[in-house]
Structure 1
Amino acid sequence: MENFNTYKKYVVYLMVLLGGLLLGYLFFGQAKPAANDHVQHNEQNNYTCSMHPSVVNEGKGMCPICGMELVPMGNMDQITNEYRFTMSERAISLANVQTHKIISNTMGGEVVLAGEIALNENTNATQTTLFDGRIDKLHIKYVGEYVKKGQEIGTIYSPELYLAQDKLLTSSSYKDTHEKLYAAARNTLGLWKLTDKQIDDLLKSGKPIVNFPLVADVSGTVVEILGSEGSYYKQGDPLFKVSNLYSVWAVFQAYEDQLPLLKMGQEILISSEAFPSEPVVAKISFIEPVLDKGKRIVAVRANVANGKGQWKPGMFIKGKVKIEHTDKQMVMVPKSAVLWAGEHSVVYTKPKSSKPIFEMREVKLGEAIGDSYVVFKGLEIGEEVVTNGAFTIDAAAQLQGKKSMLYAKETSMEQMPVTSDKGAIFPNEVNDQIKIALGTYFELKNNLVSSKSLDAHNSAKKLDELLLQIEVSEGNAEFQSNMKLAKKMVKEILSEESLDQKRLGFKKLSSAFTYLADHVQGFGEPIYVQHCPMADNNTGADWLSLEKAIRNPYFGDKMLTCGSVTKVLD
């Protein structure tokens, strides 16, 4: 009975509450506000979600989609273009967004350059033939052999030399009566750089030498062999090249925007992966006066002493140049603030410190100095940039339909694949064709790793035939864009003869195949996206691999393990 009375009491309370709500609606719910009041209400009391602007609520609350705190729509009047948007304070706090105000900076830090060891051309020399003839023997067989001046390097058969010897022997029989004829015959052999000892030995033997010994007139380490046995050569034709490796050149590639930071006589710290603990200090001795129009680079050179022979021509090296502080004012931004969109870079600024408003800004960057980049265009001193949480802010921009890093201007749509979130599913037939093409892509990559130019060409030809079978009109715009890029780059690889040029084409081919690999279904094993920062003249390049271990296709055995895994595609 007691439970029944309690239940009855709660029913009465509920009926009273419902009755009150009904009376409130009848008395106040039908009242229409004045026009001015309606405008005031929308401006001051409507709230929206910074991540989902379609959500509009009369009053504060939480977004029913993402659970974020709603912000007054009055704040939206600050958003005047497609690059600017707002976020709630709660979203900013969750993303741990941090900003940094750009202040006046004086230049200082260091510039890092990539390069390689090259022969010192001032010490190079070429051994040539001294007279026409056929090389019967050539004792110099391999690169790296040391040749000393005066050393016998082979034998030559020369009809012209044979006649000159015979003439000298004939004139020697009447040299007492025809002294001038004898002297002329002897001088002829001297002009061909025969030594007095060779001429005296010839006169003693009394017989012309058929296979005449060749003597080196240069000294150094052989760096290239040009002659071969059994071939005919004219006077002055090169047989091999030598160089004195006690001194070599360190040749670096400097970009156009780095030139103001470099000058003759600056000290540069040179190191290599082979000898990381043995860097050497040299001075910049030459800066190339002409800019490469295609790559926008110049050569910067330093002389390096190589008494121990540790610096090998062709070895990849790194150089660091310290930049002293000057009175020159530079706009610099922390590296953590920069987002990369292909070859372009963007940052997010905060136009008003007191408002949760952000704006995407494309910037042109210069050299990296320490933990910052020099900014040539896009930012001014005094502006506030996001240094932490930029990726989250970019995601918020995409959700709100604003411009983001994915919409950064591209130099050429044919060269840059369209990016998209994973989830595109190809038709079954196309999906199977892409899986087969991926297998041939890995075959091409392995041949580039092994530096097998002919095998790489054959793999590219096979891949070209496979890609031609895939219908480009199938699938979405992202697929069509990347497939067209893949087909174009395979053609370019096939048209190039040098292995280096094939590797440049492979860089763009890998961009397209990264998209295809990320969206293909049922491949059966993980695919590793790997990156080398030194590829393509230090601009960096990606590639795909079925192995986690790094095997660099852009350098082969020169820098086989240069790179790291940046992503795993399941």
Structure 2
Amino acid sequence: MNIKIPILLALGLLLAGGGYLLGRGQAGPADQPRGADQPLASIQAAPIYQCPMHPWITSDKPGDRCTICGMDLVAVGGNGAAAAADPDRVTLNAAQIAVTGVATSEVTRGALTRTLRVSGVINDDDTRHRILAARVPGRIETLQVNYVGAEVAAGAPLATVFSPEMLTAQRQYVERLKAGDVASPRAERAAARERLLELGLTEEEIRILDRTLKPTAMVNIRAPLSGTVVSRAVYEGQYVKTNDPLFEIGDFSRMWFVFDAYEPDLAWLRLGQTVEVSVPSLPGQVLTAPISFIDPNLDEQTRTARVRVTLENPERRLRYRQTAQALVSVTTPDHLLVPRAAVLQHSGRPIVYLDLGEQGGYLAREIRLGRVGDTQAEVLSGLNAGDRVVTTAALILDAQAQLAHAGAAADPHQGHRPPVTIPAAPPPPAEAAYGLLRTLAFATADGANALAADDLAAYQQQLPALRAALAAYLAGDAATARGELAAFTGTLAEASDLDAARRAFEPFSTAVADLARTRHLHHREELWIYQCPMTPVLGTARWLSRSRQLRNPFFGSAMLECGEAVNE
């Protein structure tokens, strides 16, 4: 027994040594150390593993999972697409494109259409509006019209005033008439007659006085034009002084629809453009009329100009000072057009992600925009007809590009974005964190726009980009991961109906809007913040919008214009 043990040990050592030598003899070139003359490019780089849903989460270890969604990371090759030399270029493989839902549209030439939705007030024609004041002091003896809203004809009596001053003036005139040309010069009679006209007598009443020669203290207040009594300031028995207001009359046969136009909207408005006006008191009816006046002066506080539309109202269907809504549709031909959904804002500079096609990847490109239409925008430079730009999931690409810039800024000696290690990457610079918040704000605004349009499918299509933007923002900085938005991780799930989607979106939207307001992001990026005081979840909730137009996402078409701007 003692002899067998040393023999077995010797045999094991021999087999082990033979196996080692055999392995050394079959080793390939990759196992040899790189010599001084071997180029660096000949060495196979270690593969990079990347999340298909969140491309900015990468690792150099197989088997790791995404820290956001838990998906298995997939290999993208040695230093693959995630570590491109150009941080403005984002490359995704086929699986990543399918998961993120990247879609592109072609840049074309065509007609640009813009529909302005405005609110205003129906007023009467200012050129046919009169205020009647007392011409003589006295007492109101009789009111022929004693209620507001009465229709009166031109020359109809409205009230009778007892005035001793009128009696004195009439006596002087009658005495000069009786005295004749010898005792009373013609100039004095003419002056006395002018005095009666000044005090409110009509030519007809003076002719009656010429025949009767009987002075009276009664003065009739007559309507200067046909119209409607807008206001009445006196009662019977009331004493009035000269210039005291008595009545206000407006001609409602022709009305003015007046609305305020913001500075950017003035580029679309021209005299003579047709406006479609609707009022709540005439449901289903649309009144069409041209723009008759655009005020050349801007209001210093609101930065708006008043626009007027003249509406004929022979049947008095339009009410004085009622609210009205209107549509102004404008179409201009032959522009280079890019879908609005493709345009992102970087510190006020518009960019798009250009599909490089066979070259692979998507490249961020700054463009110059002209007028912005309903669904498309005019391109002045930066794109050509036939180019394809990303319209869906552009925010996901932008989030990855922002982190690529952050990595390049953190390591200036490295020409490409370093992989984001698991579990977390170093905090990005302040500007990169701002870029992540900007991406989140625009994604939230797009979600609000879809809900305001009652389009559940469009909102669900926006959800991946919205979740990705939130995850990127929370992953960008440890401090943000502990902030208020961290509570919304996993809450933006797909809903079966609009009400459920709006209930989930309302608290999240309010938190993002408040954060954007605190960081003054809405001022830098031309976003607008609106607030509704009667929302179903919070009571008072806020949302972000790319447009000045008020469109409530929490109620949609049921109460589309419920709310107010809070852009201070």
TM category, shorter: 0.5 to 0.7
- After superposition, the Cα gap between the structure-2 partners of 1:43 and 1:279, relative to the gap in structure 1 and judged at 3 Å, is farther
Residue of structure 2 equivalent to 1:529: 541
Whole-Å separation in 1 of the counterparts to 2:562 and 2:189: 75
Residue of structure 1 equivalent to 2:92: 87
Task: Calculate the aligned-residue CA RMSD, in Å.
Answer: 5.3
Matches within 5 A, 1:239-254: 239-254=246-261
Determine if the alignment matches structure 1 residue 317 to structure 2 residue 348.
no
Contact 1:127–1:217 under 8 Å retained in 2: no
Whole-Å separation in 2 of the counterparts to 1:288 and 1:400: 49
SS in 2 for 1:188: helix
SS in 1 for 2:169: helix
- After superposition, the Cα gap between the structure-2 partners of 1:175 and 1:21, relative to the gap in structure 1 and judged at 3 Å, is farther
SS in 2 for 1:336: helix
Residue of structure 1 equivalent to 2:437: 406
Whole-Å separation in 1 of the counterparts to 2:190 and 2:562: 73
C-alpha offsets along residues 263-282 of structure 1, whole Å, 9 cap, x if unaligned? 44444444445546322332
Cα distance, 1:283 vs. partner? 2.8
Residue of structure 1 equivalent to 2:487: none
Residue of structure 2 equivalent to 1:374: 378
Whole-Å separation in 2 of the counterparts to 1:269 and 1:46: 62
Residue of structure 2 equivalent to 1:539: 548
Largest Rg, 1 or 2: 2
Q: Pick one of 301, 308, 320 that aligns with 2:315.
A: 308
Whole-Å separation in 2 of the counterparts to 1:148 and 1:47: 88
- After superposition, the Cα gap between the structure-2 partners of 1:117 and 1:510, relative to the gap in structure 1 and judged at 3 Å, is closer
Q: Pick one of 194, 218, 237 that aligns with 2:201.
A: 194
- After superposition, the Cα gap between the structure-2 partners of 1:226 and 1:110, relative to the gap in structure 1 and judged at 3 Å, is farther
Determine if the alignment matches structure 1 residue 32 to structure 2 residue 44.
no
Whole-Å separation in 1 of the counterparts to 2:392 and 2:514: 33
Contact 1:101–1:384 under 8 Å retained in 2: yes
Q: Pick one of 94, 97, 102 that aligns with 1:97.
A: 102
Cα distance, 1:26 vs. partner? 11
Whole-Å separation in 2 of the counterparts to 1:484 and 1:45: 41
Whole-Å separation in 2 of the counterparts to 1:121 and 1:263: 21
Determine if the alignment matches structure 1 residue 147 to structure 2 residue 155.
no
One-letter amino acid matched to 2:34: P
Cα distance, 1:52 vs. partner? 5.8
- After superposition, the Cα gap between the structure-2 partners of 1:294 and 1:187, relative to the gap in structure 1 and judged at 3 Å, is closer
- After superposition, the Cα gap between the structure-2 partners of 1:130 and 1:399, relative to the gap in structure 1 and judged at 3 Å, is same
One-letter amino acid matched to 1:303: T
Whole-Å separation in 2 of the counterparts to 1:273 and 1:121: 21
One-letter amino acid matched to 1:406: L
Residue of structure 2 equivalent to 1:433: none
Whole-Å separation in 1 of the counterparts to 2:401 and 2:235: 67
Residue of structure 1 equivalent to 2:353: 349
C-alpha offsets along residues 322-344 of structure 1, whole Å, 9 cap, x if unaligned? 4253xx4x232223334579x95
Whole-Å separation in 2 of the counterparts to 1:352 and 1:259: 37
Contact 2:513–2:544 under 8 Å retained in 1: no
Contact 1:531–1:540 under 8 Å retained in 2: no
Residue of structure 2 equivalent to 1:282: 289
Cα distance, 1:226 vs. partner? 6.8
Cα distance, 1:539 vs. partner? 1.0
Matches within 5 A, 1:144-183: 144-156=149-161, 158-168=163-173, 178=183
Residue of structure 2 equivalent to 1:458: none
Cα distance, 1:99 vs. partner? 0.9
- After superposition, the Cα gap between the structure-2 partners of 1:36 and 1:258, relative to the gap in structure 1 and judged at 3 Å, is farther
Cα distance, 1:197 vs. partner? 5.9
- The unaligned stretches of length 5 or more in structure 1 are 1-15, 411-418, 427-476, 486-506, 518-523, 551-558, 566-570
Cα distance, 1:508 vs. partner? 6.0
Determine if the alignment matches structure 1 residue 57 to structure 2 residue 68.
no
Contact 2:89–2:361 under 8 Å retained in 1: no
Cα distance, 1:94 vs. partner? 0.9
- After superposition, the Cα gap between the structure-2 partners of 1:290 and 1:120, relative to the gap in structure 1 and judged at 3 Å, is same
One-letter amino acid matched to 1:386: V
What number of residue pairs does the alignment pair up? 436
Contact 2:200–2:219 under 8 Å retained in 1: no
Matches within 5 A, 1:61-80: 64-65=65-66, 66-72=71-77, 73-75=79-81, 78-80=84-86
Whole-Å separation in 1 of the counterparts to 2:211 and 2:221: 18
- The unaligned stretches of length 5 or more in structure 2 are 1-14, 407-431, 442-469, 475-479, 485-511, 521-527, 564-568
SS in 1 for 2:311: strand
Contact 2:275–2:327 under 8 Å retained in 1: yes
Q: 308-317 vs 199-208, which deviates more?
A: 199-208
Residue of structure 2 equivalent to 1:124: 128
SS in 2 for 1:107: strand
SS in 2 for 1:99: strand
Equivalent pairs: percent with the same residue? 20
Whole-Å separation in 1 of the counterparts to 2:38 and 2:48: 17
Contact 1:143–1:222 under 8 Å retained in 2: yes
Contact 2:552–2:562 under 8 Å retained in 1: no
One-letter amino acid matched to 1:161: M
Contact 1:267–1:282 under 8 Å retained in 2: yes
Whole-Å separation in 2 of the counterparts to 1:372 and 1:323: 12
Cα distance, 1:164 vs. partner? 1.0
Cα distance, 1:352 vs. partner? 2.0
Residue of structure 1 equivalent to 2:417: none
- After superposition, the Cα gap between the structure-2 partners of 1:532 and 1:76, relative to the gap in structure 1 and judged at 3 Å, is closer
- After superposition, the Cα gap between the structure-2 partners of 1:131 and 1:185, relative to the gap in structure 1 and judged at 3 Å, is same
SS in 1 for 2:131: strand
SS in 1 for 2:318: coil
Contact 1:116–1:315 under 8 Å retained in 2: yes
- After superposition, the Cα gap between the structure-2 partners of 1:527 and 1:260, relative to the gap in structure 1 and judged at 3 Å, is closer
Q: TM-score, normalised by structure 1?
A: 0.59
- After superposition, the Cα gap between the structure-2 partners of 1:63 and 1:564, relative to the gap in structure 1 and judged at 3 Å, is farther
SS in 1 for 2:159: strand
Whole-Å separation in 1 of the counterparts to 2:203 and 2:531: 65
Cα distance, 1:246 vs. partner? 1.9
